Amino acid sequence: MAQTNPPFMSGVPELLLLRLLQQREMYGYELVRSIRQVTGEAISLGEGVIYPVLHSLERNGSLKSKRRSVGGRTRVYYSLTAKGRRRLTQLTDQWRRVQGGITTALEGPGHAPA
């Protein structure tokens, strides 16, 4: 079975979902495909775990959803709200700080194990 997101992935699905939904509205299956595509398949989630993240984001007002019937299927399309845009900016800044710190640590003078 595909695993759920490991601990170090905390916050990453949220960031990716907000980033993708900034471009256009999408439903869950589309979002998973887009995550794979934009990350070059570097991030592979148990696909079902995006729904709790989407529902939480909707609950806290970062996303809004709309149901549509498409080809006999019920699709729940998500789109970003103004609050979601602010949250995306905040998460992006946080991520860049963490990324910068790790890059510095990896490229700086280190002690190779004996």
Partner 1 sequence: MHRPDFDALRAGLLRAGVAPRNVRRAMLELGEHYDDLVDEALAAGMDRSDAEHQARRALGDLECIAAEIAARPELRGWAWQHPRLALIVYPVACIAVLPALPLIAGVANAPALARWIGCAFLGGLVTATMLLVMQLVITLT
Q: Is 60 in the site for partner 1 (CB under 8 A)?
A: yes
Q: Is 15 in the site for partner 1 (CB under 8 A)?
A: no
Which of these ranges, 14-22, 45-53, 82-90, 91-99, lies near partner 1 under the rule CB under 8 A?
45-53
Q: Which of 15, 43, 47, 64 binds partner 1 (CB under 8 A)?
A: 47
Q: Is 23 in the site for partner 1 (CB under 8 A)?
A: no
Q: Is 46 in the site for partner 1 (CB under 8 A)?
A: yes
**Residue 96: is it exposed, middle or buried by C-beta count within 10 angstroms (0-12/13-18/19+)?**
exposed
Q: Is 69 in the site for partner 1 (CB under 8 A)?
A: no
SS3 track for 47-82: HHHHHHHHHHHHHCCCEEEEEEEECCEEEEEEEECH
Cα–Cα distance for residue pair 73/100, rounded to 1 Å: 43
Residue 64 Cβ vs partner 1, minimum distance, rounded to whole Å: 14
Contact 20, 34 (CB under 8 A): yes
Footprint of partner 1 on this chain (CB under 8 A)?
Answer: 1-4, 27-29, 32, 45-49, 51-53, 55-56, 59-60, 73-76
